[in-house]
Structure 1
Amino acid sequence: MPIATVNPATGETLRTFDALAPDALERRIALARAAFDEHRTTGLARRAELLTRAAGLLDEDREGVARTMTTEMGKPIAAARAEAAKCAKAMRWYAAHAGELLADEHPSAADAEDSGAARVVVRYRPLGVVLAVMPWNFPLWQVVRFAAPALMAGNTGLLKHASNVPQTALYLEDLFRRAGYPEGCFQTLLVGSDAVEGILRDPRVAAATLTGSEPAGRSVAAIAGDEVKKTVLELGGSDPYLVMPSADVARAAATAVTARTQNNGQSCIAAKRFVVHTDVHDAFCELFTEGMRRLAVGDPMEESTQVGPLAMEQGRADLEELVDDAVRRGATVRTGGRRPSGLERGWFYEPTVLTGVHDGMRIHREEAFGPVAAVYRVADAEEAVALANDIPFGLSSNAWTRDESEMARFARDIEAGGVFFNGMTASHPALPFGGVKRSGYGRELSGHGIREFCNVTTLWYGP
């Protein structure tokens, strides 16, 4: 795949970039390692100062970087601005909280004495150079939620971003440079996916984090495993959205529209499978379908647009195949299911609701990465949980109910990294983020995220 900015609203190639030559790549890896030797000894106060400065610059740059994101991958401009603001917020959160999250731990005097020590300290030390392989769907946020904690912990970063968002990737390197980070502390590598193995096998690279497809995750995990290097993987999901009889059905349906179509439906944590109790199924479907039908699809640079194009032409083709397969196997298209008229130049697809979905359809087990909702009818909570878990993924989930016993059951039994009750799944710097099963392993954000790329060191002091 060429490294290029291709506007998905028009299909026009705006800029192309040459991949780094091998000697240039070598210099950047060497620089990252040298920068780590300096950055790891920088105190937390100085790291917080740098990250806070980066947040301020990002706030100043918000409009420009938002337009870059929208141009490169098609998200509505209002959503792009919100993404930039969220990144600045996360930077400030880590600048404010890293000290307490990475503070030394002191086992009790009794436990220290029992180990034969006069005292014991547990300290979080940085691992080194971390390679980040990142996707295009949240081209700023996906990177910052790795970079902010990693840099605060004293690591340095190498970013291999998706090949269709090169200008956003280069902006991030420039942002951290302008904030005053040591040269080489955070660098963008304009390389193809074929270069990842060599970078990860380089002994100067200590660890890797990847957000992306399951095949990409398997590949990186296999290489890292062979090298015995730490990885964190977030590989997407097909999140269930359960609606039970006690729910506020009108609010659940209205929220479901946003939950399914956020970021043009191209979000790992977007609700994708709507599991609705038979008692409220018809009422929910009517409200949900009407909400999806009313969405404004169009030019993502227009303020009124709610759903823009898919980021890539192949992504739309993949989505069309899933819908066509479901229809052939008996699903009903309640709204959408085709390319909108009048928008032929770009990679648009109508917000779509499918009912009558069952486990014989591809969309039941494959992630629909676009504005397509699959709706199921279930008889009770037991069937809802079984259906929620009947997929290879386990990133997050949503459950709408006012019944405390149902909440307790869903909290206990749903196989996912998160269960959001009576609201929409969202990521926040204070909350751990990640999944189970084929959605990956490890956690981003919160204290869990900042410690993922730390050497948890036991300091034992003898009598």
Structure 2
Amino acid sequence: MTTISSQTHAISVDPFTGEQIGHYPFDDAATQEASLQRAADGFKQWRTTSLAERSEHLVRLADTLEAGAEAFAQMIAREIGKPISQARGEVHKCVGLCRWYAEHGPAMLAPEATQIATARIEYRPLGPILAVMPWNFPVWQVLRGAVPALLAGNTYVLKHAPNVMGSAYLLLELFQRAGVPQGVFELLNVTPDGVTRAINDPRIAAVTLTGSVRAGMAIGAQAGAALKKCVLELGGSDPFIVLADADLDAAVKAAVIGRYQNTGQVCAAAKRMIVEESVVEAFTAKFVEATRALAVGNPLQDDTYIGPMARFDLRDELDGQVQASLAEGATLLLGGHKLEGVGNFYAPTVLGDVTRDMTAFQQELFGPVAAIISARDAEHAVELANDSEFGLAATIYTADLTLAERMTSALDTGGVFINGYCASDPRVAFGGVKKSGFGRELSHFGVREFTNVQTVWLDRN
């Protein structure tokens, strides 16, 4: 049997069975050149289409995606082990995204009057956008950036993660079936060298990446050297603050969902539970009980909530972080080990007595592991929350909304959720600060992020 090398192919492995389910040869120079040229040629035509026409394409995209939703969900579940109910939710969320931008997006790109009667602001497209995307939301992460960029008149060149190229090719097929013109959505299957060539190619106008801090630093440096605009959405170690007056049952329910959805493999997720000391014991007991009840198993079964982790190397890395935290003095309250047998499973884990000098506090835990930290009061909780290199999102649970508003203004994060867990929605902006990146996706910020904000003067004299 021929051995397929990861040096020559992007390889997709089912993390539940350990079986290889797809292999896709990396593009050679000629194939990459053809893709970039199609994107450049497509841009010349796409930018001249009206906003109404582009919106109609988004509606057809939504209809086509909805018709093929189950195939997409099955592919997501097989490629990364995401529980099928969550995979279906991801796909249908994308359907809503397309329809929302089709309806509301054109108004965001309309010419704007200024305080000068003879001057106005126009939003012009930049050109082909290179998008380097991650595996954990293989459809949503792509479309939440692509849809507003395409509506603005840009074309989109996707470089997806190598373990989800099955999803990537389904996306390419989706655009083709929906009748989107050739070159508007292109796919690159390339190594990091190919990404560098694309960034430096004069036909690429701007770059966006969702991924790790290390990847963001590399891509950001290359885009900066090429003088190209860059939007980065990177890691997170989101604080989930619970004050003494909070509804503990509601807080625990939200914390469990916020921590363990997608098997804990979410950048914007509750990772550090910062709980006021007078209720930390009660919160911890309820949280451990709720976590213990989560169904772990086959991601293709409807009742599964925790599936296998997407990559075997990431499970090893996560276990190393857990063991390091325990050696540093954290208390193991639940889990803390790989599950034996077939499948890349890690036991849902809760670490107690975590302090700010421990690995579980300082590093991002990208998997089903929660860290519980005690805070003296609200002010101390904010201090602990901000003591991180990340700044993606934060959650506050309290009955005192006035206090919550004051805390919000002191939190160094791109988003704050009061009495609700972190989520993304096309109606509001999404992004972070510090090492969680810069730039914004979604809402009118996302649709204008890759535009030339052009000032047009009429009769300057």
**TM-score per shorter chain, which class?**
over 0.9
Task: Give CA-to-partner distance per residue, 1:326-365, whole Å, 9 cap, x none.
Answer: 1111111111111234xx2211011111001112211211
Gaps of 5+ in 1: 113-118
Amino acid at match of 1:401: T
Tell me which residue corresponds to 1:422.
419
Task: Give CA-to-partner distance per residue, 1:60-114, whole Å, 9 cap, x none.
Answer: 1011110001110110000000000000100001111111111100113xx34xx
Tell me which residue corresponds to 1:388.
385
Amino acid at match of 1:56: D
Tell me which residue corresponds to 2:79.
72
Tell me which residue corresponds to 2:162.
163
- Root mean square deviation, CA, Å: 0.9
Whole-Å separation in 1 of the counterparts to 2:275 and 2:369: 16
Whole-Å separation in 2 of the counterparts to 1:226 and 1:188: 24
Tell me which residue corresponds to 1:58.
65
Amino acid at match of 1:198: R
The answer to whether the aligner puts 1:337 opposite 2:336 as a matched pair is yes
Amino acid at match of 1:183: Q
Counterpart secondary structure, 2:440? coil
Amino acid at match of 1:245: A
1:129–1:207 Cα contact (<8 Å) kept: yes
Task: Give CA-to-partner distance per residue, 1:194-238, whole Å, 9 cap, x none.
Answer: 211100100000001100001110111111111110010000100
Amino acid at match of 2:343: G
Counterpart secondary structure, 2:102? helix
Tell me which residue corresponds to 1:10.
17
> Which aligned pairs between 1:52-451 and structure 2 lie closer than 5 A?
52-108=59-115, 111-112=116-117, 119-341=118-340, 344-451=341-448
The answer to whether the aligner puts 1:20 opposite 2:19 as a matched pair is no
Gaps of 5+ in 2: 1-5
Whole-Å separation in 2 of the counterparts to 1:403 and 1:453: 39
The worse-fitting range, judged by mean Cα deviation, of 180-189 and 151-160 is: 180-189
Alignment partner of 1:38 out of 45, 65, 72:
45
Query: What is the TM-score with the length of structure 1 in the denominator?
Result: 0.97
What is the percentage of aligned positions where both structures have the same residue?
47
2:319–2:338 Cα contact (<8 Å) kept: no
Counterpart secondary structure, 1:87? helix
Tell me which residue corresponds to 2:36.
29
Amino acid at match of 2:52: A
Amino acid at match of 2:332: V
Whole-Å separation in 2 of the counterparts to 1:290 and 1:406: 29
Amino acid at match of 2:349: T
Runs of 4+ in 1 over 3 A off after TM superposition: none
Counterpart secondary structure, 2:54? helix
Tell me which residue corresponds to 1:457.
454
Counterpart secondary structure, 2:297? coil
Task: Give CA-to-partner distance per residue, 1:251-289, whole Å, 9 cap, x none.
Answer: 101111111001110001110000000111111101000
Whole-Å separation in 1 of the counterparts to 2:37 and 2:352: 54
Counterpart secondary structure, 2:157? strand
Amino acid at match of 1:32: A
1:254–1:287 Cα contact (<8 Å) kept: no
1:210–1:232 Cα contact (<8 Å) kept: yes
